[in-house]
Structure 1
């Protein structure tokens, strides 16, 4: 079968010996650490709203503004088709994907907190530049600094949360990253709704307020404890043990600490972690965690909606104010979905949410495509009833994504990698995610212009493919200690043929002898 083996105790070594309680110290560390998600969320929410504001377009993209005014209340799939305008959004993600390799080094050598601090400073500088921009060049440079901040933040925060959390609640804790991302989107949508009415500098306020989540992330980086995994990795064993006792709320941490030591020994033997990702024993983590899941997370089409929701609603005939209001609804849907996922993902499992929501998302994309094909055309006004129907369908789609591919696209990869490749693996996750995020941001509007309703059929096809990918290849990881997840692949119907049963243990033994596994 294609299912997981998370609950088969015979496949795990010491999981039954782990002890933990939910302490105030642990809750504090996770809430503060998750603030990094608000950077990503705020930018996702703010950029689409700003690019639809008249004052912003008049100052930087006057041709787009004139075309928008000519088709204000009509359907025009090409209304916002301008590659420089989309570069305003996508440049951030291109910068993020490049910076993630530097973030991997910082995360591994200086700790998860080090990456959080670097990311917050860069994001703060980018927000200042964007708010003060007087030309497109300043806008793009500001976006590059924001991208560096997101590259570092997205590298460190999911790892931080997964490593701090005990196995039984790791799914819910890791999804704090998604929750703060969704809250960032919602806050940005609310701010855009009001600043759009402040002429002519409301857009500057929207962009400048990105300094707030950056400041919160910086303060968090100063006061957070480092993860025990990272401390062990850097030979600070006594400090690691002390932190592990505090976050687990018990002195009986010998089994978990032993696993951390073994994982660290294997990690130290790896001199080239990126090359080690290609090793046969790490093939499942590479295919699932570093490539497939982060790529498919963007190919759902959801971020196209988040990036360009105000633009898209205006393209379909909504007025400027109405389109921004519609994005508020999608923002609320994302927050609700994140709370649902946090509450239930450790009960029902990762595969259930991937597959159930995938079926819903497929149906919603087909519905949107059919509605557009039948009722829309260039120059037509949007019927009010159909417009309301489309907003509802899009919100249902966002609700499905927000409890599945959105949070699990970060949670599951952060669970899969052994410590020896974890920072390199997370860099690949962020890199692949940002490559596809940037491509979607850069190509969605031109694709909408040329494919029209067909783009939603394309997303529906991709959702079908990615759901099949999960069904056949991903084992269930709920409630499995993070340092023992690799054992699931030794029992999986497909992956056991590739990794065998002894590869990771052999690597650990070699590490203990001081030999290189590269």
Structure 2
């Protein structure tokens, strides 16, 4: 088993290229779990059109079916951090894979809405665990020089899954077969399970459990010996400092130097959801139907959103380690504020639905702009920032808290959107989301720190106010 029996790797030159190739496989397989979450959130937008008819769903029932995934994710996220700290990142990911394998056949078989809710809940347990553990796993195993790209791959896998969901939804729309749409997510579940046997445990968790020799061998997989020794020493030094200065992780969370980190992490997580992205992912066809698009045209528009999702994530991966996290998030908050403001103004001043007329085309254009700007910034960088901010001793519980609140916000948005859309219309609803984007912009300007180019130990030392943790060669100190 790869996670339990880390391969013994020497430091000789002939094997370094092969080691680095195997590390690339870790990064690829390590993020496949995000495809499940993305697929299930993407495909439901098309499935709802036919579920609404088959099960005679009210607007509230529609919200509950959509939110079943999210309720499960809240519970999975709440327990994921503690489980990952106790049993290891890899073992909990294996349990996650079991949830993701069971849920798709159950959703496809569901004879009525309650059963569908239950199996979407099971899928949500897997999604919540994944959302807590994979960003932590990737941030802990990747070198500082490429950590933004590696952790950003998780966000890329989410939007790739959403695009696959849009494609499958469009393919089965002529057959009105929502069962095939929901059941098809078993394919990425199988890939994720296979991928787990190509990855190993993180060096930081191994140090935390006293397995320092194993941690060194893992570091040598994609680091030069000098770099690996330096990072190993920093991890051990930081761990010893944490053991000497504090007790349990929950006590650490209450310490004065940790509280600002928690506030920033939770704020980033909450803003990501309340800025409105999942109203587009879950309900884009519904929104477009409200401005006059026909069913199949509304579902086909999802493909535009899916392509923009992926392009935006590639943009973020290309520039996260060059420009930094904060500039991308500033640009994203400003851009989403503008695009949602135009969308709201158009629908409020010209409220008549007209399909491919002015209101319909402006709505589609603003949604497209919003999706690109959000995903290149908050959609991708939230997971990078959350994976980097929290100290080692509380990384699991803190990530669990932030991710749980993220999923709670996700659930509130998903559950309330259909009745709110019905009650106040597209214009007023998206005007409210634009105000939240303004608040996110002000938060980013005033409170969000830059973490580009710093090791996880450096980031922690900055919040502690304790010097002495060294920077890896080639990385830059960023305030």
Give the CA deviation at 1:504: 11
Which residue of structure 1 aligns with residue 27 of structure 2?
30
RMSD: 2.0
Give the CA deviation at 1:264: 2.7
Give the distance between the partners of 1:391 and 1:121, measured in 2 at CA.
38
Q: Deviations over 1:476-506 (max 9, x none)?
A: 110100111023346xxxxxxxxxx35999x
2:368 aligned with 1:371: no
Alignment of 1:389-408 (within 5 A): 389-408=362-381
Selected match of 1:466 from 440, 444, 454: 440
* 8 Å contact kept, 1:117–1:222: no
Give the distance between the partners of 1:397 and 1:312, measured in 2 at CA.
14
Give the CA deviation at 1:164: 1.4
Give the CA deviation at 1:271: 4.5
Residue aligned with 1:281, SS:
coil
Count how many residue pairs are aligned between Structure 1 and Structure 2: 451
Alignment of 1:104-123 (within 5 A): 104-123=81-100
Give the distance between the partners of 1:247 and 1:176, measured in 2 at CA.
17
Which residue of structure 2 aligns with residue 482 of structure 1?
456
Which residue of structure 1 aligns with residue 389 of structure 2?
416
* 8 Å contact kept, 2:36–2:185: yes
Q: Deviations over 1:38-65 (max 9, x none)?
A: 1111111011111112xx2232126x5x
Residue aligned with 1:248, SS:
coil
Give the distance between the partners of 1:504 and 1:154, measured in 2 at CA.
32
Alignment of 1:239-258 (within 5 A): 239-250=214-225, 252-258=227-233
Give the distance between the partners of 1:317 and 1:145, measured in 2 at CA.
35
Give the CA deviation at 1:251: 5.2
Alignment of 1:143-182 (within 5 A): 143-182=120-159
The change in CA–CA distance for 1:330 and 1:457 in structure 2 (over 3 A counts) is same
Give the distance between the partners of 1:504 and 1:214, measured in 2 at CA.
43
Q: Deviations over 1:2-51 (max 9, x none)?
A: xxxxxxxxxxxxxxxxxx99921221111110111111111110111111
Give the distance between the partners of 1:383 and 1:104, measured in 2 at CA.
47
Which residue of structure 1 aligns with residue 10 of structure 2?
none
* 8 Å contact kept, 1:35–1:177: yes
Alignment of 1:189-200 (within 5 A): 189-199=166-176
Give the distance between the partners of 1:164 and 1:31, measured in 2 at CA.
13
The change in CA–CA distance for 1:275 and 1:339 in structure 2 (over 3 A counts) is same
Give the distance between the partners of 2:110 and 2:419, measured in 1 at CA.
26
* 8 Å contact kept, 1:47–1:307: yes
Give the distance between the partners of 1:413 and 1:466, measured in 2 at CA.
16
2:83 aligned with 1:103: no
Give the distance between the partners of 1:443 and 1:503, measured in 2 at CA.
47
Residue aligned with 2:386, SS:
helix
* 8 Å contact kept, 1:118–1:152: no
Selected match of 1:316 from 291, 295, 301: 291
Selected match of 1:284 from 233, 240, 260: 260
2:113 aligned with 1:133: no
Give the distance between the partners of 2:258 and 2:61, measured in 1 at CA.
40
* 8 Å contact kept, 1:112–1:160: yes
List alignment gaps of at least 5 residues for structure 1: 1-19, 65-81, 491-500, 506-518
The change in CA–CA distance for 1:319 and 1:229 in structure 2 (over 3 A counts) is same
Selected match of 2:181 from 206, 211, 217: 206
Which residue of structure 1 aligns with residue 5 of structure 2?
none
Give the distance between the partners of 2:179 and 2:190, measured in 1 at CA.
18
Which residue of structure 2 aligns with residue 40 of structure 1?
37
- Using structure 2 for the length normalisation, give the TM-score: 0.90
2:403 aligned with 1:430: yes
Alignment of 1:324-403 (within 5 A): 324-377=299-352, 380-382=353-355, 384-403=357-376
* 8 Å contact kept, 2:32–2:191: yes
The change in CA–CA distance for 1:216 and 1:266 in structure 2 (over 3 A counts) is farther
* 8 Å contact kept, 2:78–2:400: yes
* 8 Å contact kept, 1:164–1:247: no
2:237 aligned with 1:262: yes
Residue aligned with 2:84, SS:
helix
* 8 Å contact kept, 1:285–1:417: yes
Residue aligned with 1:425, SS:
helix
Give the distance between the partners of 1:384 and 1:370, measured in 2 at CA.
16
Residue aligned with 2:210, SS:
coil
Give the CA deviation at 1:279: 1.3
* 8 Å contact kept, 1:166–1:248: yes
- Using structure 1 for the length normalisation, give the TM-score: 0.84
Q: Deviations over 1:76-112 (max 9, x none)?
A: xxxxxx1111101112111211222321222112211
Give the distance between the partners of 1:24 and 1:470, measured in 2 at CA.
36
Give the distance between the partners of 1:49 and 1:397, measured in 2 at CA.
20
Give the CA deviation at 1:425: 1.1
* 8 Å contact kept, 2:73–2:407: yes
Give the distance between the partners of 2:120 and 2:156, measured in 1 at CA.
23
Give the CA deviation at 1:190: 0.3
The change in CA–CA distance for 1:411 and 1:203 in structure 2 (over 3 A counts) is same
Give the CA deviation at 1:463: 0.7
Residue aligned with 1:395, SS:
helix
| Higher RCO, 1 vs 2 (CA within 8 Å, ≥6 residues apart) | 1
